[in-house]
Structure 1
Amino acid sequence: MTTYDTKWIMRTVTITGTRRTGHKTTAEYADLFELYLGPFAQGAHFYIGGAAGIDSLALLWLADRTAAAITIVAPSTMGRQPVEAQEAVARSRGRIKEIVELGEAELSAPAYHARNRWMVERTSMTIGFPHATEPSTGTWQTIEYTAEQRKPRLIVPV
């Protein structure tokens, strides 16, 4: 792999993860993000789903600790996202490059899967933070879709 290849892989990154994050502290997530997002942050553009849990925690960490570009992607509108997600976006607004609202009328599993595919199709890799006890979730669907697209993925169980 050349230096050019490494820069391309690190350029655009989808972040996906569990909404169930209460089993770890904010400091523990910050440590995980430092280890697994930090190496990709310089010059990167992150696409984040705009939901509660890992999405909001990763957004806040990236906005506070990096200069990386950030795009938030909502399956419908941000106004229909959980309060936690809306607050994280409001707090980080000055650091967010773009908010994409896909306009789905119904917030359902297919809408979230479509949002996840939309992000994967626009990025060069995915970093997933699945809950260790949730084997069949949107996070895993996103990781599997990334694999189907023959793109690299980094899986960090939480």
Structure 2
Amino acid sequence: MSPHRQVQRDLTTYDTEWIMTRAVTITGTRSTGHHGLKSYAELFAHYLAPFAGEETRFYIGGAKGIDSLSLLWLAGNTHAQITIVVPGTIHQQPPEAQQAITRSRDRITDVVELHAAELGSPAYHARNRWMVDHSDMVIGFPLIGPQGTAGTWQTLNYGAEQGKPHLIVPV
């Protein structure tokens, strides 16, 4: 008997669903005023669109900056599933983020409110880890420059530590 025996089996419904679904965390800077909306739309078209099939679920943090911009772009340009994850509640998010969520409400599949007691760095880091733990990969849009300690880099590094593919698109 050959040591490299090939086994054939039929795919189950579970196998098919696992192969056909993909979950992606989006993380990025809140400081986005240094580029115009057209520039971000082009970035998202190049780096989010290839992953944005109907079977894809994007986890987005629900903050201002890249979170809000990517939410609006995904809602307007794809059929992907969108889940917003916030450390507290939606009502605690900045006005810009609340407006993006309201504008995209009909395209948002789920909202996860983690109900943190305090909205400090630990709550945001816990939110980011939650998203990565529920994802297959991470796409990050950090500010151009050296790797720092910002939440975007912490999220990308956490994904890498978990052995998940990550795509870094400096802005």
Fold match (TM-score > 0.5): yes
Q: Could you tell me how far apart the structure 2 residues matched to 1:8 and 1:37 are?
A: 19
Counterpart code for 1:145: Y
* Paired positions, count: 153
Q: Could you tell me how far apart the structure 1 residues matched to 2:20 and 2:70 are?
A: 19
Q: CA RMSD in A?
A: 1.5
Q: Could you tell me how far apart the structure 1 residues matched to 2:143 and 2:19 are?
A: 29
**Higher gyration radius (CA):** 2
Note the alpha carbon deviations across 1:30-88, whole angstroms, 9 max, x for none. Answer: 00000000000012110000000000000000000000000000000010000000000
Counterpart code for 2:68: S
**Which protein has the bigger helix share?**
1
* Residue of structure 1 in register with 2:118 after alignment: 106
| 1:24 Cα deviation after fit | 0.3
* Residue of structure 1 in register with 2:67 after alignment: 55
Q: What is the TM-score when the length of structure 2 is the normalising length?
A: 0.86
Q: Does 1:147 align with 2:160?
A: yes
**Structure 1 residue aligned with 2:87, among 75, 93, 96?**
75
| 1:11 Cα deviation after fit | 0.7
Correspondences of 1:1-158 after superposition (within 5 Å) = 8=19, 11-42=22-53, 43-133=55-145, 135-158=148-171
Identity of matched residues, %? 61
Q: Could you tell me how far apart the structure 2 residues matched to 1:66 and 1:108 are?
A: 32
Q: Could you tell me how far apart the structure 1 residues matched to 2:150 and 2:89 are?
A: 22
Residue segments in structure 1 that go unaligned for 5+ positions in a row: none
Q: What is the TM-score when the length of structure 1 is the normalising length?
A: 0.93
